[in-house]
Amino acid sequence: MKTFSLAAALLATGLLAACSGSSGSSGRTQSNFDDAIDFIDAAGPDAENIRSVSVDQLPNRATMSGQMLAGMDRAESTFVGDATATANFATGRIAGRATNFTEYESSAACDSSRWSACTGREIQDLGGTLDIAGRITDTTFSYDTQGKLTGTDAELGPVVADIHMDGVGRFGQLNNQLVAIGVQDGTAVLSSDSGRVTSEIAGVLILSE
């Protein structure tokens, strides 16, 4: 499926390897999909442009924003939402939300990691919000993402998706900014007039201070 091949392409870049704003301009009208791809492109091959940070370099508290990307095994599309989170390093907590989700069809360039040519065609806007909550340990974090999104499924029609994902991530530095990168997976239970369908779902969280 395209969503999972896009996730595999991200993994192949090394961007998420250490997990087990935006930069650049193309003159296009920016969407949250474009912002996410710009971040990935700025990170460079094997995330070589993201520098490791030590605990001593972290602030007591950081307000961060970026995107959450997700895909289900039943759909050849990518869902991208605007994400915000507060990382409280003093208390060891991270909390936030992802909202304003849009479903995109991604181009073939995305699957082959040609990020400068990677584009997304908007399919539909989704309603709802996913909450992010987790714990910080040194320069890494674990978190869960849950909530409901509403939209239209190609087979089921109007649906409510009850989503729960668990993830792990790390903090680093890109272009002298504190960034956070996470990878998550779980399930989405889709409820419609036709009944309920459970789908695997995987996602990526990218945040910048």
Q: Pull the structure tokens for residue 110.
A: 């995305």
User: Which whole-number Å values give the CA distances from 149 to 29, 40, 78, 146, 159, in the listed order?
Assistant: 25, 25, 14, 10, 8
The pLDDT value recorded for residue 155 is 87
The pLDDT value recorded for residue 10 is 57
Q: Pull the structure tokens for residue 12.
A: 């192949």
Q: Model confidence over 139-173: pLDDT tens digits?
A: 999 999 999 999 998 888 999 999 999 999 999 99
Q: Model confidence over 8-49: pLDDT tens digits?
A: 455 445 555 545 433 333 344 579 999 998 988 888 877 788
Q: Model confidence over 122-137: pLDDT tens digits?
A: 999 999 999 999 999 9
How many angstroms separate the CA atoms of 209 and 47, rounded?
Answer: 18
Helix (H) or strand (E) holding 57: none
Query: How far from each other are the two terminal CA atoms of the chain, in whole angstroms?
Result: 32
The pLDDT value recorded for residue 14 is 54
Q: Model confidence over 64-110: pLDDT tens digits?
A: 999 999 988 877 788 999 999 999 999 999 999 999 999 998 888 88
User: Which whole-number Å values give the CA distances from 14 to 50, 114, 160, in the listed order?
Assistant: 11, 14, 34
How many angstroms separate the CA atoms of 82 and 96, rounded?
Answer: 11
Sole residue written with tokens 């409510």: 160
User: Which of 91, 87, 70, 97 lies closest to 178 in space, CA to CA?
Assistant: 87
Q: Which own/partner pairs from 105-108 qualify as long-range (CB within 8 Å, at least 24 positions apart)?
A: 105/2, 105/76, 105/77, 105/78, 106/2, 106/6, 106/33, 106/77, 106/78
The pLDDT value recorded for residue 75 is 77
User: Which of 127, 77, 71, 121 lies closest to 98 in space, CA to CA?
Assistant: 127
pTM for the structure as a whole? 0.87
SS3 label, residue 40: helix
Q: Residue 193 above 60 pLDDT?
A: yes
Q: Pull the structure tokens for residue 190.
A: 């889709």
Q: Residue 1 above 50 pLDDT?
A: no
The pLDDT value recorded for residue 48 is 80
